[in-house]
Amino acid sequence: MKSSMLALGLLLAMGAAFASDVPKKPAPTMQQILDASKPSDWRPLDPNNTLYMDLPNGRVVIELDPAYAPLHAQNIRTLAHEHYWDGLAILRVQDNFVTQWGDPQAEAEHPTHKKSIGTAKDKIAPEFERDIDPKLPFTVLPDGDVYAPQVGFSNGFPAARDPKTNKTWLAHCYAMVGAGRDNAPDSGPGTELYVVIGQAPRQLDRNIALVGRVVKGMELLSALPRGTGALGFYEKASQRTPIIRVRLASDLQPAQRENLEVLRTDTPTFIALVESRRNRSDAWYLHKAGRIDLCNVPLPVREAKSK
């Protein structure tokens, strides 16, 4: 305290021309911004857009994004409601790329007993991009992007857009979940899902439907043993992690649901958070980047204080 008082005294003595040299209060850290956030900076997960995937070691929570993938979200709700994934497995873990789960039979060369998809659809129109809509929130990031004319966040999801074509699409950042497909664009109905576990594979953007994001339990999918077959598929059935069950939160009683909130991305608090990561104020950083990549922006999730 004493030295800053002294500095202020010196500056006053040197006159107003040096006012910009007044020692500034250090910029807040991300944690300080989160600590100072208001309840309205957060939103609860919508149970109708929230999946719980229970694995032997714990639960993965996935938030679906019906704004960008409404048809896929609806099909995935149906699949979860009808217990499609129960007893299926994690089939593929490719280092620095994706973890993928679904029906082992669907990946077999000669499938003999593929699990029925019940009343879900087998084909869905591609949802690789959609029209820009002024009603869809979009917080633009200031530092540009290698892959797209503009990037930012829409309802908590990393996204890109091209004002020239009026199109917008979700971006393949870490923890984003997509619907695997074969060569046909409509062949990914959401039965086989994948999550990004490495450097953002942005070349997949606009080629495949992203449907949501892992908001809890990511380490249960990222720390799995890598598959040794082609594309990281497990070569033996015994290597696969079984899926105990996948449920839609709205199919559970309210008391049985997770009570998570995500930070809204259309708030001044989020803009302050981005700034705190563009220019880290902790003493460790000798060189502040002054920039941030879309997929380096943290998207905080917390337990709500009460239901």
Instruction: Give contact residues for a copy of itself (rule: CB under 8 A).
Output: 93, 95-96, 128, 143-147, 173-175, 183, 185, 198-203, 205-207, 218-219, 222-226, 277, 280, 283-287, 289, 291-293, 295-296
- Is the Cβ of residue 216 or residue 247 nearer to a copy of itself in the bound state? 216
- Is the Cβ of residue 284 or residue 305 nearer to a copy of itself in the bound state? 284
- Is the Cβ of residue 42 or residue 128 nearer to a copy of itself in the bound state? 128
Output DSSP code: residue 215.
E
For 16, the 3-state DSSP assignment is helix
Spatial distance between the Cα atoms of 150 and 138, rounded to a whole number of angstroms: 10
Minimal distance, residue 96 CB to a copy of itself, in Å: 5
Spatial distance between the Cα atoms of 243 and 230, rounded to a whole number of angstroms: 22
With contact defined as beta carbons under 8 Å apart, do 288 and 279 qualify? yes
Over the Cα atoms of the chain, what is R_g?
23
Minimal distance, residue 149 CB to a copy of itself, in Å: 11
Minimal distance, residue 60 CB to a copy of itself, in Å: 13
- Is the Cβ of residue 183 or residue 238 nearer to a copy of itself in the bound state? 183
Minimal distance, residue 253 CB to a copy of itself, in Å: 30
Spatial distance between the Cα atoms of 190 and 76, rounded to a whole number of angstroms: 6
- Is the Cβ of residue 62 or residue 295 nearer to a copy of itself in the bound state? 295
Spatial distance between the Cα atoms of 104 and 111, rounded to a whole number of angstroms: 9
- Is the Cβ of residue 114 or residue 291 nearer to a copy of itself in the bound state? 291
Taking the CA atoms of 53, 56, 59 and 61 in sequence, report the sign of the dihedral they define: negative
- Is the Cβ of residue 80 or residue 189 nearer to a copy of itself in the bound state? 189
187, with CB counted inside 10 A (0-12, 13-18, 19+), is middle
Minimal distance, residue 108 CB to a copy of itself, in Å: 20
Minimal distance, residue 298 CB to a copy of itself, in Å: 10
Minimal distance, residue 38 CB to a copy of itself, in Å: 26
Spatial distance between the Cα atoms of 35 and 37, rounded to a whole number of angstroms: 6
- Is the Cβ of residue 120 or residue 273 nearer to a copy of itself in the bound state? 273
CA angle (232, 233, 239) in 5-degree steps: 110
Minimal distance, residue 150 CB to a copy of itself, in Å: 13
Task: Tell me the three-class secondary structure of 22-90, residue by residue.
Answer: CCCCCCCCHHHHHHCCCHHHEEECCHHHEEEEEECCEEEEEEECCCCCHHHHHHHHHHHHCCCCCCCEE
